[in-house]
Structure 1
């Protein structure tokens, strides 16, 4: 995060004061309190220069951060002086508490802080921007934040936003009404239009964004993603490498480059010559796989707790190259993660299950992971895939051996998690018939029958 914030400041992003505030937070956590104070001074200076007419509203977060950092430094007099400043400012706002006011500027800043942290905070970020827009509907920053939060939530199959993928498009158009030259809004809208097969307008927006924002890394990154999805790998890689010169440590850029190379690998694999050692196609495939791995590692190594997608992509390319030790190490690290989005957890379980099934030929281990994915309470595409794979394995095992009690038990668990109590009872009864002393099946059957009896779901 520190590197990303420094890159944002260095490349002259529009909202440098926000980046300095975030950087102060990170520096304070790392014990660099003097550096944190310098960051806050920079933020204060920028706010005074750019928002003199709204300085009191804009400075609340920064003054709060000053008080917080000085408190951690043990300089209580300085901390109190900033609390006093906050108290004087907050008296201007009717609904404010003593030291803060949830006015649009504060709600919006909170939204951006959450949005730039990790995926599990996107819903909260969306609500912050929504609140900011209630009182300040024509603010470009809050409209962009709201659109971005919606857009990211739409990518998760288990969210309500995923059912309304055009909502963010409307919001990005609102940003462009307020600021027709907003490069980031242009490319983000273009990506949404691309998903809806509205390619002509999307291409125009991307080309315009690159002209209007020739030095903004995020604009270039999103534009490169657009070209990659369009199938123009050469243009995408060229744009990403150019942007990498501006921000060489950008994890997002490395991930995008890795995805471009992976697409080339998958295309090359279709060529039979790529499997013949000594053939140029074989050598090209090997080089592309190494490039993939290198860029994926550079994407997730600085962000092992949050960049889950890059780690899954690394594991997939290693599996393709039969580097199973790397695959297992990556999956073991991912399975230990806690506090992540439910869709991410389910995707990890799905990938590990497929690896166990397809590469290690272990149906038993695959079922364990598919079952874990199903247990996560989120109605996503990944959960459905876990379920479908579990069902296929169990039914295949029953066809091979109709007296396989474990397979019937797995079907019972699957139906139970689906809320299909009648089918679950039938499967567990069959499993117990074949394995009468199994306490797990007996317990599950008793629980189901009790639930049915209490809720009167169907007659005994």
Structure 2
């Protein structure tokens, strides 16, 4: 092929909408973990050809990234076969649903230096566009937008916002389509962890729409139940969860989210039993191992709160060992699992393996920086490690402050606020004129937007201590109010 021919062919390929043109970078995910999740998804979607076909198309791209071109080709062929089975005689829908897979075929053949095959798929796509012209040249087909949304959602947490936008655009074109409503609900659920708003929030509204559009999707019902329970809407939440569990008692995704629901509710033993059942079906699920670890952590905390740590020391250690085991499994299966890595480091600290904890925290900080996300989570966990395992309150305060300044409105920010407040109030109970404690309360009010209260505390703090940080913050606040 001449250079001119190759340039022309490449320009055509770059105009396609498919995995190869969606900027899915292997640096943004763990390919081994992604491969496991996609293969598990195929097993779980039996009987749902549309979902399985979509997953095979994504799997083909992952195989390409791993250098397994023949396996990639085989997966794309399976995707096409299942799409045709699902749509049967409805060739219009079938053709539009095949556009992404055909684009993947064209790119894969290009990389395999099979020019004739590459051009053949480009011609097929041209024919589809001519028979079914899109409503606008600037807006892709809703089928393409939807498939792109699902691919982004599966590939990396970094792409959740992009996935949300794809589903939103697809719903503008087809408002009642169940697949796009489900995808948009899940994307919103994952990108909006903040529970400070009301039950009338966009996440719950969209989850309700998705359940209405997909009445047989029990995973969506459980997600809605989990979010409703966070707003203390327990009656409706439990009804949805019990209904989903009754209808899909062996579906691992349903079981694992139901397990999370019961853990949040405080029914730890029931949660453990459900999660272990789910683990039997999907033994390589880092999510389930993490959820089990959190259950054992909750059990351990309950024994401590009941004052049983002296009489039941051996049982507490056994539970801690179980917690550590599942966290180690989760982080082995998914080496970039920031939350599980941070939790594991804390558990090592509780187990008095301080050097192992410090080493893991160092690795986790590095991973979070590379992932461009999760630094606040690691910072807050590291503060807890300093406070409870190393008994170093000054360093704990330093890192809680750092975590709070990163963003006060996230889970990590609110956790930092609560921990700093407890430390300050405990110190002031001993000494109402503790300048550092007053300064901590000043920072809390400053970061949470209460400038007048922050000024009041900083002024009090500076009457007892000479601190450049407090003085600088006070000057900044006064200037902002002028």
TM-score, normalising length: structure 1: 0.80
Deviation of 1:309 (Å): 2.1
Greater displacement, 316-325 / 408-417: 408-417
Deviation of 1:62 (Å): 0.9
Q: Matches of 2:350 and 2:143 in 1, distance apart?
A: 48
Match of 1:148 in 2: 186
Q: Matches of 1:271 and 1:194 in 2, distance apart?
A: 25
Structure 2 residue matching 1:129: 3-state secondary structure:
helix
Q: Contact 2:300–2:320 at 8 Å: present in 1 too?
A: yes
Deviation of 1:11 (Å): 2.7
Are 1:123 and 2:123 an aligned pair?
no
Q: 1:343-362 residue pairs with structure 2 within 5 A?
A: 344-362=374-392
Greater displacement, 72-81 / 25-34: 72-81
Are 1:268 and 2:303 an aligned pair?
yes
Are 1:383 and 2:413 an aligned pair?
yes
Q: Assess, with a 3 A threshold, how the Cα gap between structure 1 residues 390 and 291 changes in structure 2: closer, same or farther.
A: closer
Q: Contact 1:154–1:165 at 8 Å: present in 2 too?
A: no
Which of 201, 205, 228 lines up with 1:193 in the alignment?
Answer: 228
Per-residue CA deviation, residues 222-268 of structure 1 (Å, 9 max, x unaligned), is 12222222332332222222222211111111112222222221122
Structure 2 residue matching 1:116: 3-state secondary structure:
helix
Q: Contact 2:339–2:377 at 8 Å: present in 1 too?
A: no
Are 1:333 and 2:369 an aligned pair?
no
Are 1:286 and 2:317 an aligned pair?
yes
Greater displacement, 207-216 / 358-367: 358-367
Deviation of 1:310 (Å): 1.8
Per-residue CA deviation, residues 52-105 of structure 1 (Å, 9 max, x unaligned), is 4211211111111112222332333322322222222223324565xx961211
Deviation of 1:20 (Å): 0.9
Q: Contact 1:154–1:162 at 8 Å: present in 2 too?
A: no
Are 1:312 and 2:352 an aligned pair?
no
Which of 300, 308, 332 lines up with 1:301 in the alignment?
Answer: 332
Per-residue CA deviation, residues 307-356 of structure 1 (Å, 9 max, x unaligned), is 222223323333333332332222212211226576x3222212212322
Deviation of 1:218 (Å): 0.6
Match of 2:55 in 1: 19
Q: 1:2-401 residue pairs with structure 2 within 5 A?
A: 2-13=35-46, 14=48, 15-52=51-88, 53=90, 54-91=93-130, 92-94=132-134, 102-156=140-194, 166-270=201-305, 272=307, 274-276=309-311, 281-305=312-336, 307-336=337-366, 337-338=368-369, 340=371, 344-376=374-406, 379-386=409-416
Q: Matches of 1:131 and 1:208 in 2, distance apart?
A: 32
Q: Matches of 1:254 and 1:338 in 2, distance apart?
A: 24
Q: Contact 1:254–1:296 at 8 Å: present in 2 too?
A: yes
Q: Assess, with a 3 A threshold, how the Cα gap between structure 1 residues 130 and 347 changes in structure 2: closer, same or farther.
A: same
Q: Matches of 1:124 and 1:365 in 2, distance apart?
A: 38
Q: Assess, with a 3 A threshold, how the Cα gap between structure 1 residues 259 and 367 changes in structure 2: closer, same or farther.
A: closer
- Aligned residue pairs total 436
Q: Contact 1:119–1:341 at 8 Å: present in 2 too?
A: no
Q: Assess, with a 3 A threshold, how the Cα gap between structure 1 residues 156 and 110 changes in structure 2: closer, same or farther.
A: farther
Q: Matches of 1:172 and 1:434 in 2, distance apart?
A: 53
Q: Matches of 1:12 and 1:381 in 2, distance apart?
A: 33
Greater displacement, 127-136 / 254-263: 254-263
Q: Assess, with a 3 A threshold, how the Cα gap between structure 1 residues 328 and 162 changes in structure 2: closer, same or farther.
A: farther
Q: Contact 1:184–1:209 at 8 Å: present in 2 too?
A: yes
